[in-house]
């Protein structure tokens, strides 16, 4: 994906970061602040889900 010039264009980015760059960034983030940031971003998404939500996966379903 990094070498495909269409990907950054489609998503409005300058370029696609390499795996090592993302890994180094994640290592540099304080774990407590990272958890708070993820929780803050996830809260609006979870509140949009219906109640009750069923988190189940049926491995017997075979799409044709």
The residue that leads in pLDDT, 60 or 6, is: 6
In a domain, 63, yes or no: no
**Alpha-carbon dihedral of residues 15, 44, 24, 3, nearest 10 degrees?**
-20
Give 26's contacts (C-beta < 8 A, 6+ positions apart). Answer: 34
In a domain, 23, yes or no: yes
In a domain, 16, yes or no: yes
Whether 18 has a pLDDT exceeding 70, the answer reads yes
In a domain, 18, yes or no: yes
In a domain, 42, yes or no: yes
What pLDDT score does 47 carry?
83
pLDDT tens figures, 25-61: 999 999 999 999 999 999 988 888 888 877 777 777 7
In a domain, 64, yes or no: no
What is the reported pTM?
0.49
Structural domains counted in the chain: 1
What pLDDT score does 64 carry?
67
Range of the domain at 28: 6-47
In a domain, 59, yes or no: no
CB 18 within 8 A of CB 3: no
């Amino acid at each position: 994906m990094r070498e495909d010039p269409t990907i950054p264009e489609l998503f409005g980015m300058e370029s696609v970061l390499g795996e090592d760059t993302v890994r180094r960034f994640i290592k540099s983030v304080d774990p407590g602040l990272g958890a708070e940031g993820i929780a803050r971003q996830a809260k609006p998404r979870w509140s949009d889900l219906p109640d009750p939500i069923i988190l189940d996966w049926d491995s017997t379903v075979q799409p044709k």
